[in-house]
């Protein structure tokens, strides 16, 4: 390419970069577009055509990089040079005022200037810019190391790919999904027969941690930038930091306030608690920081959090609504569960219309009647629950609820077994149980059949294509494509996912069977011990109980399951379909990184589920057990540990926190 042509093309590229990013900022940050969508699309097409003709000239800051890149095989680790520590929490006014007294005492002053910001319920991230260009983005992780999610963060249109000036700087923010976008996202997933997200935070976290950036690009992620990491700036307060970030065209939340003293802080927290339902995104509190950076430096840090900041956490939001009806659901084990049908309310960022009442004892103990006004909240900000009946507002027209004596799905008589709270339908051919069994069988922890959610399972059953879980492996493309809302491509994808699942190890098939009391861990233990479904199916109760952590209840239900005539027919259908019945041999020796080491969990982990942590430990030869003994090598200490901690201390067991566990796994 001639030098003159090179210069002309490069100038045109940078002009388009600048113009497109300007309009991105106007639309996605300021919510004040200057041009129509059609005009913006025309600019993007012009840029794409130019980059197609001159691919070597494409820059890291090109807006076309927002649409996603090739899928990754795994995320790499990023070390935070300045740790992204968590915050201590205050759950009451008393705790918040005690924080203020402590700060005043440490700084030897009477009044502190604070800065208040909303605590967005999302996922904390770091963005690193070199000479004004976004070069790396990572998750908070454990505060010291996170995951490199640069390609995914590039898809968020609020994040500038290039700054107005060539700054080398690290900024930090919170990725989230707005309430309306979350509702629309779940509606789309329901139509596509995909599992629904529990709440906006889970949706944001899951979207940002996709290995395929093109999937992330289709999710409605947003971000608010709230602070700085590594930088050479000479700023004096948290307030000036946010003003500076705003000037550099970062999306900064406008709901913020400098407060002179703790009384003004409390006033801000109280006002936002009252108005939080009006916000277009979920918050779970207010972050309060000492405003002056020099005072922050003087106060310093503890091992886990800065001394100069605290999060005031709001109590779970509670609202009144009316119980319009009480219906019952039939689960895959036949359990009949009463569900309150509520007059819809907005609660903690989502619309709530149903709340599980668990069993007939709970309904009776809380005195819940159809027509009652009740107080509802989200347990853990996720699951709707009925707290209590507002008896003073009863009109006398309320109707008592009684559990049905017959199954609402198949009409069989329901029974309440000795020692159980649930009433059950024991008919193995019950249609409602079958739909739930299909959903469970296809779930991620079982056979992991993508696209086979509740709606698809119901569709297959109603159209008599599936009468048991083994029938899934005999579905044909023509019959699937003829179903409503099932196009040729959807049918092909589903058949492909079903075929792929045939190769899953035995432990997944066992868990997919849905045998009572047999969870993921028991399924793995049984699969590893017997290695083959044929051997396991002939095991006795006595033999099974010899396996560590397999007790009499699990042993009895496993033997009972395999002794049923219908199970024999089911297994025969799976065998003829070519489903794998074996577990890969696990050669764990003392030479494995954690070979022979035994671990026990106590308390919740922040960055992993227990299943994830268990898998990583077992992959390296370690073993997870439920109770502490002299044979235990390590107790993994999480938040809110139980009695296992005191026993570990008594026995002198090595205690490691989540960070030490991560380091141990990373060093291997």
Q: Write out the catalytic residue numbers.
A: 119
- What's the token pair of residue 71? 């899928």
- What's the token pair of residue 630? 């002299």
Alpha carbons 108 and 502: distance in angstroms, whole number: 68
- What's the token pair of residue 344? 């819809």
Alpha carbons 662 and 648: distance in angstroms, whole number: 20
Can you tell me which residue has the tokens 């976290």?
Answer: 205
Main-chain dihedrals φ then ψ at residue 463, nearest 5 degrees? -95, 15
The whole-angstrom distance between residue 443's C-alpha and the CA centroid of its chain comes to: 15
Q: Are 656 and 600 in contact (CB under 8 A)?
A: no
Q: What is the DSSP string of 69-105?
A: -SPPSSPPEEE-SS-----EEE-SHHHHHHHHHHHHH
Neighbours of 272 (CB within 10 A): 21
Alpha carbons 47 and 58: distance in angstroms, whole number: 10
Alpha carbons 33 and 23: distance in angstroms, whole number: 7
Q: Count of residues for the chain?
A: 668
Who's near 377: CB < 8 A, 6+ residues apart?
316, 317, 318, 319, 347, 384, 385, 387
Nearest-5° angle of CA 475, CA 480, CA 486? Answer: 145
């Amino acid at each position: 390419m001639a030098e003159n042509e090179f210069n002309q093309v490069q100038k045109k590229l940078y002009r388009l970069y600048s113009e497109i990013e300007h309009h991105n900022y106007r639309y996605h940050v300021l919510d004040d577009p200057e041009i129509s969508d059609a005009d913006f699309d025309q600019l993007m097409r012009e840029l794409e055509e130019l980059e197609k003709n001159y691919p070597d000239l494409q820059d890291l800051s090109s807006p076309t990089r927002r649409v996603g890149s090739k899928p990754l095989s795994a995320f790499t680790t990023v070390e935070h040079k300045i740790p992204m520590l968590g915050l201590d929490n205050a759950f009451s006014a008393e705790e918040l005022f005690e924080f203020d007294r402590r700060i005043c005492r440490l700084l030897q002053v009477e009044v502190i200037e604070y800065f208040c910001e909303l605590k967005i319920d999302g996922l904390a991230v770091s963005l690193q810019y070199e000479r004004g260009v976004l070069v790396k983005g990572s998750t908070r992780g454990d505060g010291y190391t996170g995951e490199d999610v640069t390609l995914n963060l590039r898809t968020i249109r609020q994040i500038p790919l290039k700054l107005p000036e060539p700054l080398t700087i690290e900024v930090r923010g919170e990725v989230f999904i707005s309430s309306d976008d979350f509702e629309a996202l779940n509606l789309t997933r329901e139509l596509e027969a995909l599992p629904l997200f529990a709440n906006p935070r889970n949706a944001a976290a899951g979207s940002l941690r996709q290995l395929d950036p093109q999937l992330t690009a289709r999710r409605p992620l947003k971000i608010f930038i709230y602070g700085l990491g590594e930088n050479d700036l000479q700023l004096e307060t948290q307030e000036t930091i946010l003003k500076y970030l705003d000037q550099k065209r970062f999306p900064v939340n406008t709901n913020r306030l400098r407060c002179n003293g703790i009384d003004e802080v409390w006033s801000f927290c109280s006002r936002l608690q009252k108005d939080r339902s009006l916000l277009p995104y979920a918050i779970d509190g207010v972050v309060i920081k000492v405003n002056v950076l020099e005072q922050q430096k003087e106060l310093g840090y503890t091992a886990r959090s800065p001394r100069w900041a605290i999060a005031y956490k709001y109590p779970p939001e509670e609202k009144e609504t009316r119980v319009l009806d009480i219906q019952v659901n039939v689960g895959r084990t036949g359990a009949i569960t009463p569900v309150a049908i509520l007059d819809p309310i907005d609660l903690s960022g989502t619309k709530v219309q149903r709340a599980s009442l668990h069993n007939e004892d709970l309904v009776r103990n809380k005195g819940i009647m159809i027509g009652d006004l009740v107080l509802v909240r989200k347990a853990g900000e996720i699951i709707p629950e009925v707290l209590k009946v507002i008896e003073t507002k009863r009109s006398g027209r309320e109707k008592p609820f009684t559990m049905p004596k017959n199954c609402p799905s198949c009409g069989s008589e329901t029974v309440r077994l000795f020692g159980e709270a649930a009433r059950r339908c024991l008919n193995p051919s019950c249609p409602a149980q079958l739909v739930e069994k299909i959903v469970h069988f296809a779930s991620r922890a079982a056979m992991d059949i993508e696209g086979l959610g509740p709606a698809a399972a119901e569709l297959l059953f109603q159209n008599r294509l599936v009468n048991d879980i083994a029938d899934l492996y005999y579905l044909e493309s023509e019959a699937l494509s003829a179903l409503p809302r099932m196009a040729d491509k959807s049918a092909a994808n589903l058949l492909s996912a079903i075929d792929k699942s045939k190769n899953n190890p035995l432990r997944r098939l066992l868990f997919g069977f849905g045998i009572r009391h047999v969870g993921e861990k028991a399924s793995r233990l049984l699969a590893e011990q017997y290695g083959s479904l044929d051997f396991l199916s002939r095991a006795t109760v006595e033999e099974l109980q010899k396996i560590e952590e397999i007790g009499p209840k699990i042993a009895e239900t496993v033997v009972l399951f395999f002794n049923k005539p219908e199970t024999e027919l089911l297994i025969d259908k799976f065998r003829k379909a070519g489903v794998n019945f074996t577990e890969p041999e696990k050669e764990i020796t003392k030479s494995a990184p954690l070979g022979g080491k035994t671990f026990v969990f106590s308390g919740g982990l922040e960055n992993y589920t227990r299943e994830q942590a268990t898998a990583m430990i077992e992959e390296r030869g370690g073993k997870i057990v439920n109770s502490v003994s002299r044979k235990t090598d390590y107790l993994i200490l999480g938040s809110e540990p139980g009695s296992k901690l005191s026993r570990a201390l008594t026995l002198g067991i090595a205690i490691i926190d989540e960070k030490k566990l991560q380091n141990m796994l990373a060093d291997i």
